[in-house]
């Protein structure tokens, strides 16, 4: 394969570091440029010392970063700045392939975007061009896309479990309850009191109950799958662990049928494992890998099913899925650079 | 107050140690005898070194332990052995007050017991005599009881939130979903591979989905409150933390009304705090204390409510509630010995 | 006993919260006033929800706080502001008893202070008046003091182990190596990237090697005990746990003799437990309590000893010791309000 | 390269699982056979579910396992059984290359073995044939070896830091203090009460003070390097984390000189990173990787140095180093299959 020159916007956050961890072992990629505003001028190893043995490009400001040689751009900037940064990038070099890890290009409807994010989208043409980068669902469209909006970590976890069931009309879409749990890296690397070790270890709590922004993505994709509006109940929680999303989904539908649909859907998918009927997945068994594990368990009451889905929020829920998107967009074998197994224990 | 002579059967487990932590500071109690079969003949400080500065009785076998001077017996034996041990104890000394922390005296119906535990109850007369020791619900009966079955940790967490709502017919009892999470001490101190640090840290998983034994207690008490059979969906999970139960409960019912009912019910209760409408509790804020904290949050869809309840499984979910039961049974002020505040951080 | 009116300067940090946890159960104390600049005007339960069931005074600015009714002032302000705040307080009300939890009044020599903290002390008269508040060592002086400088957490852990040995000339003071480990609460509640859960969990590291400021306190107190300058090697590390200091101290000296000295020194001390010869303490067995546990273990080479000391940095290493100082300064029984046992597990 | 057929004895422990994680991505290896006595007849995914998507051989008993097609044998059996198992294996197939991860073939002197392990070695000829598998120190001998004894995790961490310093006579070998800390996976997967989550989380403690068996390996290798007997002080501790060894080593020697020696020694080594002078490594930056990171920091007193070394006990401290040994023994490029980067956060 030819070598792709890759740049990362926003390399000093957790998803940026995770991209570097994965791309360093990707045989078709050269990491050519890295941006990080406040750390510009410093080596990547200053912000993530585990990379000190690698030969990586120096961190630059967005403005300094030369897109000329770049084939693929991963954008791990915060929500908001992303819109203008990518608009500028694609105007400067229209032939770029871009995978955006922010939330800016996930919602197709400008009204949805404005409603959930509180302001008008600043790059509406790109928004309508962008493809929702959930590979297992939108693979064909992604293969032709110039810009993909990499799905949120909660959303990926839930959609991989629910889209096939909703599409098959196998569950009551009025009755979906999603109780989701996330590790702490989902909150990013910004210094916030609420994320200090002593504030979040040795305890558990829900947050953003009834109003988490990933809800908008859930609504969009489930509604597409269902062919009508779906607005599930969704409650996120924080778990004192670093990595992992764990979604316990309560659905009205026949357990055996749901299991069959999921097992059939994912029989050939390299990154989704449907467990034998009745078995329960654990988040630790996907840690550090691009895998999603899904279990289907019957409730004691007939016609009720618990569907459980888990993945690593920094891999399949962010940077791993981003690499998977790149592979599809660049016609590389989809699993290239993504074969690392879970680190357990 | 007079001093009560207290014995603990099964002092070498976590709930036994927690009883000692609490009772040592209880002004009306003397810890007079402690049993622990495999550690008999050793001081308590050998099994829990934090007690080495205390003057505690030596550990004895059940057989050696003299009940003559004992006024109150706490039984923290494993399920099963409890039935015969307490039968013998109450035959030997009928005037004993007994608080049992096992599951043996929680289910009133012998058929329920046999169905969930796989064998006939060995002390059926005591089973029918025993009162379900959920103080906030059964206080009057407990005050007159000789034997209380201290509720399970999950059950206490859920029932304190749901009993008032079900009793007021404020929620649809056909549609209750309980997603519950527990810290690791709930699994006890027995050496099991699945409870090793490296097996349970840095990850999250559900277990006993659709079949956890606490379900039987939930059914019993919710059905009493509702006046008809209630069989909620109940899914327990393990959180990598030591203490805490966190129940996220999905109910069809009006959020404001549910909040009002709970706030009114618990306005005068010393150990149940109902948070302001919309606020979310955290398990760490009850750690080490006898408090339960309950939050009521509206879903984004009208008529749907998320009720969240949290407590420390070893205190209000076990040994603290046991002391509370003793206080009620012995006509002591209910909060005696239970004023320690949460240890946070 | 008469009731003491107590104020806390800087109540919204971890040591402030810990003071409230302890003082609420102290029978001779009323918490009369609480300061917290950025949270002034809010209830304490807003910053530490575990206190929501208590009836505490509203948070005020330092300026608003009326010292007139106050008998005892605990100062938990950051290093630096403390000097001017306490100078003003003692000028406004010279009869106050003050326990300062910052580092500002621990070093007796103004030159030492300037050398380690980079500026001249702003209240030098108070500095020379202040007594070093290590009760087990300076009890008599503390009983007569108006102002005590509560020792640092590392320092308390190490000095309780070493002062008797150094004073008895039982170890080679040229050869002391102190390898110390701390839980995360020692870093306080300020939002720092380096203290985020995902930065400090699942790993271990040393910090401030060869230059931690507690070294100055160690030098001061060990030199007093030795009667000549002592400058031990001291290396602090961070442990992914909330509470606890654990000091592994390497000393040249006879193990049995060292054990005898320590056991004799602390035979009557309520808060220091010397373990049987050869036994090793664990930090979790002091969690939440005011105890220090010390073990003495022989090295395999004759004449070399490992002395291990552990305490809870927020209790005996900060707020518990502060209450102990208050008890001594106010002629109350020293253990009043400090009987809570360790919370383990 | 030709494909090597590899077998693993004792595949169901943590080091067995780690070998599979690494070898699955090794381009010159086929995993041909796996043994696990109590789990024989079951798939590997039953004991480590993260492997469920792989096509691995079924677990067999040692007796069933056919060595005929095997080129390389990794032995991850417990200490003791290893001796007889490997003796039998090498008699059955003398051309095997064997890397043993137990402690059985690390000590060259039969008397040392008997003294530390309490019984005579059962395969003394193999013991004298075996090469101590610390690649950076014994590379040439390993390249010619048939059987290597893979070093202990503590030992590897310490020796990589100390062997060059001792060999250069740059430190006082009479004055070495090693304060070492380990994550929990070092204790293996056997169900022991002392390793339960609730026993080891949220706390810290030393163990085996003055008598840990890895001391024998330290003595042996340091004495070889020094050319005379060296018996350092060595104290191991347990950290509430899964992976990582962290050794804080106190040495009398000039800091700059020690740094120069280490930096020179490891300039070309692919798996050992010596940090810039004065910088402190963190265990989390090697998690899941085969790297060792070493820092050299001056004490405040002249002529005293703190040398800090850290690695992942399951990778460079066990299975990664075992693969590195295999690569050297089989004349493969030494880094083959070992390029995975640290998983941080």
Contacts of B307 in chain A (CB under 8 A): none
* Strand ordering across the sheet containing A72-75: A59-60, A29-35, A4-9, A72-75, A97-100, A147-149, A131-132
Contact between A240 and C201 using a beta-carbon 8 Å cutoff: yes
C-beta of residue C199 within 8 angstroms of C-beta of residue C239: no
Q: Which of B243, B310, B298, B302 is nearest to B273 (CA)?
A: B310
The pLDDT of residue A1 is above 80: no
The pLDDT of residue D161 is above 90: yes
How far from B132 is each of A5, B36, B156, B273, C165, CA to CA, in Å? 68, 25, 11, 22, 57
Contacts of B209 in chain A (CB under 8 A): 280, 297, 306, 308
Q: What is the per-residue pLDDT across C233-288, written as a single tens digit (0 to 9) for each?
A: 999 999 999 999 999 999 999 999 999 999 999 999 999 999 999 999 999 999 99
Residues in chain B: 345
Contact between C297 and D345 using a beta-carbon 8 Å cutoff: no
> Is the C-alpha dihedral spanning A22, A24, A26, A28 positive or negative?
positive
Which residue of chain D is at minimal alpha-carbon distance from A13?
Answer: D345
Contact between D287 and A202 using a beta-carbon 8 Å cutoff: no
CA distance C205 to D284: 8
CA distance B127 to D66: 58
DSSP conformation letters of B153-206:
HHHHHHHHHHHHHHHTT-S-GGG-EEEEEE-GGGG-SS--GGGBHHHHTT--EE
* Alpha-carbon gap: D240 to the closest alpha carbon of chain B (Å): 8
Mean per-residue pLDDT, A215-222: 96
The percent of residues above 90 in pLDDT, for chain C, comes to: 97
Catalytic residue, candidates B98, B103, B153, B261:
B153
C-beta of residue B40 within 8 angstroms of C-beta of residue B61: yes
Contact between B190 and D193 using a beta-carbon 8 Å cutoff: yes
For residue B31, the cross-strand partners are B6
Within 8 A by CB and 6+ apart from A316, the residues are A156, A271, A286, A289, A290, A291, A292
The predicted structure's pLDDT at residue A80: 82
DSSP conformation letters of D20-64:
HHHHTT-TTEEEEEEE-TTTTTS-HHHH-GGGTTS--PPEE-TTT
Contact between C198 and A185 using a beta-carbon 8 Å cutoff: yes
The predicted structure's pLDDT at residue D210: 87
The predicted structure's pLDDT at residue B79: 86
Nearest to B191 among D191, D202, D241 (CB): D191
The predicted structure's pLDDT at residue A172: 98
CA distance D15 to D318: 7
Going by DSSP bridges, is the β-strand pair D245-252/D304-311 parallel, antiparallel, or unpaired?
A: antiparallel
CA distance C90 to A99: 62
∠ CA D76-D78-D80, rounded to 5°: 125
CA distance A15 to A320: 9
Contact between D343 and A17 using a beta-carbon 8 Å cutoff: no
The pLDDT of residue C208 is above 70: yes
Active site residue C153: yes
CB contacts < 8 A (C, D): 148
Q: Which of B130, B125, B128 is nearest to B102 (CA)?
A: B130
Going by pLDDT thresholds of 50, 70 and 90, the confidence category of residue C1 is low
Mean per-residue pLDDT, A183-196: 96
Which residues from C are below 8 Å from A when comparing CB atoms?
14, 184-185, 187, 189-193, 195-202, 240-242
DSSP conformation letters of C79-102:
TTHHHHHHHHHHHH-TT-EEEE-S
* Alpha-carbon gap: A197 to the closest alpha carbon of chain C (Å): 4
Which residue of chain C is at minimal alpha-carbon distance from B268?
Answer: C53
Question: Which partners does chain D have (≥3 C-beta pairs < 8 Å)?
Answer: A, B, C
The pLDDT of residue C54 is above 70: yes
Question: Quick one: fold of A4-129?
Answer: Rossmann fold (3.40.50)
DSSP D146: S
- Which stretches within D118-226 are classed as H helix? 124-129, 135-143, 153-167, 197-200, 214-226
CA distance B132 to D278: 63
DSSP A238: E
What is chain B's pLDDT, residue by residue, as a tens digit (345 residues)?
A: 689 999 999 999 999 999 999 999 999 999 999 999 999 999 999 999 999 999 999 999 999 999 999 999 999 999 889 999 999 999 999 999 999 999 999 999 999 999 999 999 999 999 999 999 999 999 999 999 999 999 999 999 999 999 999 999 999 999 999 999 999 999 999 999 999 999 999 999 999 998 899 999 999 999 999 999 999 999 999 999 999 999 999 999 999 999 999 999 999 999 999 999 999 999 999 999 999 999 999 999 999 999 999 999 999 999 999 999 999 999 999 999 999 999 999
Instruction: Sketch the domain layout of chain D as residue ranges.
Output: 4-151+316-329, 154-312
DSSP A196: B
Within 8 A by CB and 6+ apart from A118, the residues are none
Within 8 A by CB and 6+ apart from D95, the residues are none
For residue D237, the cross-strand partners are D181, D206
C-beta of residue C152 within 8 angstroms of C-beta of residue C180: no
Contact between B306 and A237 using a beta-carbon 8 Å cutoff: no
- What dotted CATH number matches D4-151+316-329? 3.40.50.720
* Alpha-carbon gap: A213 to the closest alpha carbon of chain C (Å): 22
Mean per-residue pLDDT, A147-163: 98
CA distance C56 to C58: 6
Which residues from A are below 8 Å from D when comparing CB atoms?
14, 17, 21, 24-25, 48-54, 185, 202, 242-243, 270, 273, 275, 281-282, 284-289, 291, 293, 314, 339-345
Mean per-residue pLDDT, A147-175: 98
CA distance C180 to C275: 19
Chain CA centroid to CA C306, Å? 23
Contact between B21 and C343 using a beta-carbon 8 Å cutoff: yes
CA distance D64 to D68: 12
Give the CA count within 13 Å in the CB-facing half-sphere of D279: 15
Instruction: Tell me the residue ranges of DSSP E strands in chain D.
Output: 4-9, 29-35, 59-60, 72-75, 97-100, 131-132, 147-149, 177-182, 205-206, 233-238, 245-252, 272-274, 292-298, 304-311
Between 3.30.360.10, 3.10.20.30, 3.40.250.10, 3.40.309.10, what CATH number should domain C154-312 receive?
Answer: 3.30.360.10
Contact between D204 and C239 using a beta-carbon 8 Å cutoff: yes
Contact between D204 and C248 using a beta-carbon 8 Å cutoff: no
Nearest to D185 among B187, B193, B198 (CB): B198
CATH class of A154-313: alpha beta
Nearest to B344 among C50, C293, C342 (CB): C50
Question: Which partners does chain C have (≥3 C-beta pairs < 8 Å)?
Answer: A, B, D
Contacts of D308 in chain C (CB under 8 A): 206, 209
Tokens of A103: 């939330």
Return left, alpha or beta for B310; rule: phi > 0 is left, psi -120 to 50 is alpha, else beta: beta
Contacts of B53 in chain C (CB under 8 A): 270, 273, 291
Instruction: Tell me the residue ranges of DSSP E strands in chain B.
Output: 4-9, 29-35, 59-60, 72-75, 97-100, 131-132, 147-149, 177-182, 205-206, 233-238, 245-252, 272-274, 292-298, 304-311
Contact between B51 and C341 using a beta-carbon 8 Å cutoff: yes
> How does B25-52 read in b/e, with b if 16+ C-beta sit within 10 Å?
bbebbebbbbbbeebbeebbeebbbbbb
Which residue of chain B is at minimal alpha-carbon distance from C186?
Answer: B345
Q: Which of C311, C162, C266, C151 is nearest to C224 (CA)?
A: C162
Catalytic residue, candidates C101, C153, C274, C318:
C153
Contact between C203 and D301 using a beta-carbon 8 Å cutoff: no
Catalytic residue, candidates A153, A222, A245, A315:
A153
| Test the C interface: residue of D203, D280, D343 with most C CBs within 10 Å | D203
Going by DSSP bridges, is the β-strand pair B97-100/B147-149 parallel, antiparallel, or unpaired?
A: parallel
Tokens of D242: 């899964």
Q: Which of D201, D15, A345 is nearest to B198 (CA)?
A: A345
Query: H helices then E strands: how many in chain B?
Result: 11, 14
DSSP B54: S
- Whether ipTM tops 0.90, in short, is yes
How far from A316 is each of A105, A287, C204, CA to CA, in Å? 18, 10, 27
Dihedral over alpha carbons C247, C249, C255, C258 (to 10 degrees): -70
How far from A241 is each of B174, B216, C196, C200, C329, CA to CA, in Å? 34, 31, 12, 11, 44
């Amino acid at each position: 394969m030819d070598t792709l020159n890759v740049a990362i916007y926003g390399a000093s956050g957790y998803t940026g570091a995770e991209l570097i961890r994965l791309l360093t072992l990707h045989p078709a990629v050269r990491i050519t440029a890295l941006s990080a505003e406040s750390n510009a001028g410093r080596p990547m190893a200053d912000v993530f010392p585990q990379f000190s043995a690698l030969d990586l490009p120096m961190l630059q400001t967005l403005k300094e970063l030369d897109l000329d040689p770049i084939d693929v751009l991963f954008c791990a900037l915060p929500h908001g700045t992303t819109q203008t940064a990518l608009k500028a990038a694609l105007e400067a070099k229209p032939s770029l392939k871009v995978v955006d890890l922010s939330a800016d290009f996930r919602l197709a409807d400008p009204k949805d975007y404005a409603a959930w994010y509180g302001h008008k989208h600043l790059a509406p043409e790109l928004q309508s061009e962008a493809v929702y980068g959930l590979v297992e669902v939108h693979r064909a469209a992604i293969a032709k896309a110039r810009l993909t909006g990499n799905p949120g970590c909660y959303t990926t976890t839930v959609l991989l479990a629910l889209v096939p069931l909703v599409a098959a009309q196998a569950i009551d879409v009025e009755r979906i309850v999603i109780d989701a749990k996330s590790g702490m890296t989902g909150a990013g690397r910004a210094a916030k009191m609420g994320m200090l070790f002593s504030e979040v270890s040795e305890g558990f709590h829900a947050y953003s109950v009834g109003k988490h922004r990933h809800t908008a993505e859930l609504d969009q994709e489930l509604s597409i799958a269902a062919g009508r509006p779906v607005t599930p109940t969704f409650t996120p929680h924080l778990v004192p662990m670093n990595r992992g999303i764990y979604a316990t989904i309560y659905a009205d539908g026949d357990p055996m049928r749901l299991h069959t649909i999921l097992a059939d859907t994912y029989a050939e998918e390299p990154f989704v494992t449907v467990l034998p009927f009745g078995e329960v997945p654990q988040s630790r068994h996907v840690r550090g890998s691009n895998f999603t594990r899904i279990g289907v368990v019957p409730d004691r009451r007939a016609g009720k099913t618990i569907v459980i889905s888990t993945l690593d929020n920094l891999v399949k829920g962010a940077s791993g899925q981003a690499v998977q998107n790149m592979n599809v967009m660049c016609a590389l074998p989809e699993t290239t650079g993504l074969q690392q197994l879970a680190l357990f224990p």
